[in-house]
Amino acid sequence: MPLTRLLEHVLEGEPDLGDEVDAVFREAERLRRRRTRSLLAAGAAVVAAIAVTGYLLTTTLLPAREKAATPAAVATPAASAVPVPSDIADPVLALLAPAVRDKKMHIYPRPPERGSGWRQYSITDQDDKPRGTVEVAVYRLPEDLCFPVLAKPNKCARTEWAPAGVEYVRYDDDHDLDWQVHQTIARRISDGRTLALMATGERGTDNASTGKPGLTGAQIEKIGTDQRMFDAFGPDEDCVGAAATACPAFRMPVPQPAD
Amino acid sequence: MPGDEDGLRDFVTSRLPHLRRSAFLMCGDWELATELTRATMARVVADTRRGAVADPEVFAYSEMMEACRRRNRRREHVFVAAAGAEGVAAESILLLDALHKLAPRCRAVLVLRHWDGFELDAVGAMLDLDDERVAAYERAGLAALQKLLTESEAALTG
């Protein structure tokens, strides 16, 4: 007897199908929902993994690298009890760091590193030798500003214009080998926020080369007129008034309203 | 068939009984066969709706045979009569028993070829075998089944 005929007998007593067709479609719907949930869960897991990785990288690796760049010879940063912010935590540092790193140097906050309306940083070269400081401050000066002239204190300088309505004057002074300075004062005319950015060379070297600032005058001009630098400070930060006493002393001071 | 719900329902309605019988021949348990058939057909429906199935029939039998193969790995007892079923003929039990002494792939070839009536190439597509291998399994399966049945009948009559 052929196998097919034999198998027919085996299937005698087959139970009724009942509503199996509907059950199949209900099961298909459950399967679709399960797959959708799995897909969403997998997506959420990927997003969470990326977020955790990003968090770990930014909070662990970047500060660690900054810390590693801190030379043992420079006592002040090492002595600071204040956590060193990463580029991401400090938008001012984020704007300064690329230019410094392009020159194979390092930049990090210099205690007292920050206050309302101001920040200050130290620069070291690739041999961990100090290459001076960078100081920056913002001022709320809604009225017109008389940009000072280096050689003539009572005169107003002719301003240059940067994109997006920023007027500025650049000050470079390397006559004093012991205090070489590159500074820019810039003012955003839309809201009067004024910014002073200054790089100074390491003092006390008495040497034109080793006393040269870590950033050039052109770099200071470019960074100091960058809209992002104006926005890197909080809206209420201001070096005018009560907070002014803690603000850095610039080679070319920004005229205050009372001046 | 993607997007054709009526065509999909017609397919399920027409193929479900055949598929369940094949599943029963593979696993020897109507309850398990029903469960595996439902799960297989649900996958056919879900995957056809999203356009992931080229040939629903090949897909259905392929999935079913794989599901039976996975289940059979864990099973020692093979034949379970349906609840409420009348007495099953001794010859049927012997045949099922002989069928289940074959290797799962060999059994699948015999079921697909001799019960479902698929051609060599279709069976090859369902089991991921080339035609020669399907023919070899079929020859070996038939010979083994014949031998097993002869031995069983001899034991019964003897």
Residue B7 has pLDDT above 70, yes or no: yes
State yes or no: pLDDT of B101 exceeds 60: yes
B42 with A10: Cβ contact below 8 A: no
Long-range CB contacts (within 8 A, 24+) of A1-6: A2/B114, A3/B110, A3/B114, A3/B115, A3/B142, A3/B145, A4/B114, A4/B115, A4/B117, A6/B91, A6/B95
Banded pLDDT at A219 (limits 50, 70, 90): very high
Taking the CA atoms of B98, B101, B102 and B108 in sequence, report the sign of the dihedral they define: positive
- How many Å apart are CA B50 and CA B18, to the nearest integer? 24
pLDDT number for residue A68: 47
CB contact under 8 A, B85 and A15: yes
Which residue of A8, A11, A32, A38 is the best one to mutate when testing the B interface, meaning the one whose CB has the most B CBs within 10 A? A11
**Is the per-residue pLDDT at B119 higher than 90?**
yes
Instruction: Enter the tokens of residue B93.
Output: 């039990």
B142: number of Cβ within 10 Å:
17
Cα dihedral sign for A15, B72, B87, B14? positive
Q: What is the ipTM of this complex?
A: 0.81
Query: What average pLDDT does the segment B117-135 reach?
Result: 91
In this predicted structure, the answer to whether residue A176 has a pLDDT above a threshold of 60 is yes
- Which residue in this structure is represented by tokens 């009724």? A16
The count of C-alpha atoms lying within 13 angstroms of the C-alpha of B141, restricted to the half-sphere facing its C-beta, is: 23
More confident residue, A61 or A218: A218
pLDDT class of A43 with cuts at 50, 70, 90: very high
A232-244 mean pLDDT: 81
Q: Which domains are seen in chain B, by residue range?
A: 5-157 (1.20.140.160)
Please report, rounded to a whole number, the percentage of residues in chain B having pLDDT higher than 90. 41
Give A3's contacts in chain B (Cβ within 8 Å). 110, 114-115, 142, 145
Q: Which among A11, A14, A24 has the least Cβ separation from residue B16?
A: A24
Q: How confident is the model at residue A33 (pLDDT cuts 50, 70, 90)?
A: very high
Contact: A17, B30; criterion CB under 8 Å: no
- Is pLDDT above 50 for A133? yes
pLDDT at A259: 52
pLDDT of res. B10 = 94
d(CA A159, CA A166): 10
- Residue A37, classed as helix, strand or coil, is helix
| Per-residue pLDDT tens digits for A88-119 | 678 999 999 999 988 889 999 988 888 889 99
Task: Give the side-chain half-sphere CA count within 13 A for A18.
Answer: 9
Lowest mean pLDDT among A147-161, A203-217, B77-91: B77-91
- Phi-psi category of A155—alpha, beta or left, where left has phi over 0 and alpha has psi -120 to 50? beta
Q: How far is CA A109 from CA A116, A117, A139, B28, B80, in A?
A: 15, 15, 20, 77, 79
Name chain A contacts of B13, Cβ cutoff 8 Å: 21
**For residue range B11-47, what is the model confidence (pLDDT) as tens digits?**
999 999 999 999 999 988 889 999 999 999 999 999 9
Chain centre distance of CA A88: 4
Closest listed residue to residue B141, CA positions, set B34, B1, B25: B25
* Least confident range of A2-11, A14-23, A197-206, B16-25: A2-11
Q: Are B19 and B62 in contact (CB under 8 A)?
A: no
Q: Do A31 and B17 touch (CB under 8 A)?
A: no
Q: With an 8 Å Cβ cutoff, are B91 and A4 in contact? A: no
Q: Is B96 on the interface with A (CB under 8 A)?
A: yes
Of A79-83, A160-164, B135-139, give the range with the top mean pLDDT: B135-139
Taking CB atoms and an 8 Å limit, are A24 and B115 in contact across chains?
no
Please name the member of B12, B86, B95 whose beta carbon is closest to the beta carbon of A10: B95
Helix axes A217-224, A91-102, angle to 10 degrees: 150
- If we measure between CA atoms, which residue out of B5, B11, B35 comes closest to residue B23? B35
- Structure-model confidence comparison of residues A85 and A165, the more confident one: A165
Closest CA to B25 of B84, B57, B83, B68: B68
Looking at residues A219-248, what average pLDDT do you find? 87
Helices and strands (H and E) in chain A: how many: 7, 7
Return the pLDDT at B72.
Answer: 63
Cβ-nearest to B21 among A11, A23, A35 = A11
Specify whether the CB–CB gap between A107 and A134 falls below 8 A. Answer: yes
How far is residue A91's CA from residue A250's CA, in Å, rounded to a whole number?
21
Share above pLDDT 70 across residues of chain A, in percent, rounded to a whole number: 86
At residue B75, the pLDDT reads 47
Question: Average model confidence (pLDDT) for chain B?
Answer: 84
pLDDT at B88: 59
Residue B46: the pLDDT is 93
